Structures are given as C-alpha cells and as structure tokens.
Amino acid sequence: AQTSFGIKGGAVLSTLRRDANLNVNGGRVGYLLGIFVKKNMGDLGWFFQPEVQYATEGDNGQKLAYLKVPLLPGLDLSEDVNLHLAYQPSIQIGGENDARDFLKKWNHVISMGMEFTAIKNGLIGTRINYGATNIVEVPAEAKNYTIRTFTVDVYLALFLRKNGKSE
C-alpha cells in the first residue's frame, strides 16, 4: 500500500441552517488551510485519507473558526477522479460575535466529495459538509432552537509526496 501527503487550501461557502423560529442570516465565504495523508488500501482503488484543517465559516451574523479533522474513506474511480465520504469532528477555536459563546465547541459533520487531477501533482476538489450536531448550547431563552452548519468547500490539494515519491 502506498502513502501520499500534501497541503490544501480553498474557499468555504457556508451558512448556519436554522429551525423555523430563527431568521436566516444568509451565507459567508471563508477559507480553509490544511494537510492530508492518503493511504492506498490495495489494488481495488480504496483509500483512507485523514486530514487536519483550519477553516472559517458561519453566516452574515456569525463568523466561526474551526479546527477540523476529516476522516475520509474513498475510492479512486480512475487515476484522475476519486469519490469520498467523511466523518469530521470539529472544534470551534475562534470567531467573531458574542453569540458564539452560546454555541457548542464540538461539531460532528458528515461529508461527501469528489476530486479531479488538475495538474501533475495536484487535485481540484469539492466537498459538501452537513453538521449532524445542533450547535446551540441551549441557554434558557433558546431551548427549542436548532442550528446546524452547512458548507461547500472548493479547494486545491498539492502533493508534497505522491505514492512514496517526493514531488
């Protein structure tokens, strides 16, 4: 089994999905920066790819910063295309606006995405991320509110080492 690793960066298009009792505050464009390791799991195209990312997201009224750890099993459909799913634990590490103090620090996210070979040592990818956790901390005045994160990531991933060879 071969191992590759690299760096990635891109845009995060996000919103906070709210229940019917709260106003929708539109979307926010943020960014992500991260590292990844891709471990090929044999000749059938399966792989496992853990990542560590710093990302900004939220909506017009809320800017949040998360440290994310996507854990991606995936399948290389060809040398140029892959599909993946992910479970992504995330911890809120910053942001702007006092309301973030009423939000849970941990968020659990389910993701799916696709990557395409863009250049010799790089991929262009997109990933849809849906927060499975209600991130409201449940202060007394918001006990019936639900807020979940929803993001679409568009990124460029560059291999520093691909299949055991330095690039």
pTM of the model: 0.86
pLDDT tier for residue 55 given thresholds of 50, 70 and 90: very high
Q: CA–CA separation, 83 vs 114, rounded Å?
A: 5
Task: Summarize pLDDT for 3-33 with one digit per residue, the tens.
Answer: 999 999 999 999 887 765 555 567 889 999 9
* Residue 166 pLDDT: 55
Contact 111, 83 (CB under 8 A): no
Task: Summarize pLDDT for 122-152 with one digit per residue, the tens.
Answer: 999 999 999 998 888 765 555 667 788 899 9
User: Which one is predicted more confidently, 76 or 145?
Assistant: 76
Dihedral, 81, 83, 87, 91 alpha carbons, nearest 10:
40
E strands of 101-146, at which residues?
106-119, 122-131
At 25, list the tokens: 């505050």
Q: Is the pLDDT of residue 67 over 80?
A: yes
What value does the mean pLDDT take over residues 91-99? Answer: 80
Q: How many CB atoms lie within 10 A of CB 1?
A: 12
Q: Is the pLDDT of residue 59 over 90?
A: no
What value does the mean pLDDT take over residues 83-106? Answer: 85
Per the DSSP assignment, residues forming a β-bridge with 129 are: 111, 151
* Residue 37 pLDDT: 96
Q: Which secondary-structure segment (H or E) carries 153?
A: strand 147-162
* Residue 120 pLDDT: 85
